[in-house]
């Protein structure tokens, strides 16, 4: 009997599963569209079972979209909270997986915290104890590590919903269904698309929207810097891939900071593992004590 290491990155639209041997050598990886919760878990677990010998053990690290209870001591550990994603509110992810793999070690973390962990183990934040990972995609999310521990608090950070200053020329109402013009409401990929009438990645390089975007991002980054004093802030997610966005954001960060913070634009980095931070972090969850 052997033990396999499994990573699962459960995203709002797609799910990635990877399997490795005990030495961390990646054996195989697959991705599915994320559908209903039971069907998604069934696809994940059936695929894993097809890759191992009956009787083999697994350990599973899961990086999940949220909101989901990741506190292993909570009564509702592993359960989704209210989410607009149909069918997922109240779904108990861990209970469902245990139907397929009873008594297996399972470690659960938010997708953003897992991505940060991946970057801290193998990416641009190696050796650091205080770091933040921002994902700028359809929404905005943050994974945060303080003094070597991933931050959960009472649930987990929902940093997309902080307040920021509006650009003086910005009359866009914002996309957040709760807050309108919170950070995510003004600076997510969805907000860019709604404000300018076309997807962010189709805006030309010299479009004013990129400078506004960088300015909004810099404001949110300044908040996490002011509150957590991290060594690095890592940018991930689709919108972060725009060629000059990191540099423009770093510039605005320096201007907004006005020399006050020791954190400078140089401490703002793109994810070193790119889109693979999440799945690598999911497997790394098995290499940490919680």
Q: Contact positions toward a copy of itself, by CB under 8 A?
A: 130, 142, 144, 146-147, 149, 151-166, 178-179, 181, 219, 222-224, 226-231, 256-263
Q: Supply the minimum distance, in Å, between the C-beta of residue 91 and a copy of itself.
A: 18
Q: Supply the minimum distance, in Å, between the C-beta of residue 174 and a copy of itself.
A: 11
Nearest residue (CB) to a copy of itself, 223 versus 269: 223
Q: Supply the minimum distance, in Å, between the C-beta of residue 258 and a copy of itself.
A: 4
DSSP per-residue letters across the chain: --EEEEEEEE-SSEEEEEEE-TT--EEEEEEEE--SHHHHHHHHHHHHHHHS-TT-EEEEEEEE-SSB---TTSTTTTBB-S-SSTTTTT-BHHHHHHHHSTT-EEEEEEHHHHHHHHHHHHSTTTT-SSEEEEEESSSEEEEEEETTEE--TTS---GGG---PPPTT------BTTTBSSHHHHHSHHHHHHHHSS-GGGS-TT-HHHHHHHHHHHHHHHHHHHHH--SEEEEESGGGGSTTHHHHHHHHHHHHHTT--S--GGGEEE-TTGGGHHHHHHHHGGGS--
Q: Supply the minimum distance, in Å, between the C-beta of residue 210 and a copy of itself.
A: 19
Nearest residue (CB) to a copy of itself, 35 versus 255: 255
Nearest residue (CB) to a copy of itself, 35 versus 227: 227
Nearest residue (CB) to a copy of itself, 29 versus 130: 130
* Neighbour-count burial of 75, counting CB atoms closer than 10 A to its CB (0-12 exposed, 13-18 middle, 19+ buried): exposed
Q: Supply the minimum distance, in Å, between the C-beta of residue 81 and a copy of itself.
A: 8
Q: Is 289 left (phi over 0), alpha (psi -120 to 50) or beta?
A: beta
Q: Do the beta carbons of residue 73 and residue 23 sit within 8 Å?
A: no
Q: Supply the minimum distance, in Å, between the C-beta of residue 155 and a copy of itself.
A: 5
Q: Supply the minimum distance, in Å, between the C-beta of residue 212 and a copy of itself.
A: 14
Q: Supply the minimum distance, in Å, between the C-beta of residue 76 and a copy of itself.
A: 12
Nearest residue (CB) to a copy of itself, 196 versus 261: 261
Helices 245-257 & 208-228 angle (0-180, nearest 10): 50
In angstroms, the CA 86 to CA 276 distance is: 26
Nearest residue (CB) to a copy of itself, 17 versus 124: 124
Nearest residue (CB) to a copy of itself, 40 versus 110: 110
Nearest residue (CB) to a copy of itself, 221 versus 271: 221
């Amino acid at each position: 009997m052997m033990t396999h290491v499994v990573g699962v990155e459960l995203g709002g639209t797609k799910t990635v599963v990877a399997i490795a041997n005990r030495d961390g050598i990646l054996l195989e990886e697959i991705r599915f569209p994320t559908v209903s919760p039971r069907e998604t878990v069934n696809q994940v677990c059936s695929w894993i079972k097809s890759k191992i010998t009956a009787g083999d053990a697994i350990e599973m690290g899961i990086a999940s979209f949220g909101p989901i209870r990741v506190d292993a001591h909570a009564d509702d550990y592993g359960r989704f909270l209210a989410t607009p994603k149909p069918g997922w509110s109240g779904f108990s992810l861990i209970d469902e997986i245990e139907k397929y793999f009873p008594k297996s070690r399972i470690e659960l973390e938010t997708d953003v915290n897992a991505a940060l962990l991946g970057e801290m183990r193998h990416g641009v934040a190696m050796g650091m104890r205080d770091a933040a990972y921002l994902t700028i995609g359809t929404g905005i999310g943050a994974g945060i590590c303080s003094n070597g521990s991933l931050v959960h608090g009472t649930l987990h950070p929902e940093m997309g919903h902080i307040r920021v200053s509006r650009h003086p020329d910005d009359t866009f109402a914002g996309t957040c269904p709760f807050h309108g013009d919170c950070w995510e409401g003004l600076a997510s990929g969805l907000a860019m698309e709604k404000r300018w009438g076309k997807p962010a990645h189709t805006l030309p390089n010299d479009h004013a929207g990129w400078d506004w975007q960088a300015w909004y991002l810099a404001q949110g980054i300044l908040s996490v810097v002011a509150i957590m004093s991290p060594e690095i802030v890592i940018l991930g997610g689709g919108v972060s891939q725009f060629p000059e966005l990191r540099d423009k954001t770093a510039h605005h960060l320096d201007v907004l900071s006005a020399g006050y913070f020791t954190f400078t634009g140089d401490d703002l980095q793109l994810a070193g593992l790119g889109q693979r931070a999440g799945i690598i972090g999911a497997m790394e969850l098995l290499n940490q004590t919680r």
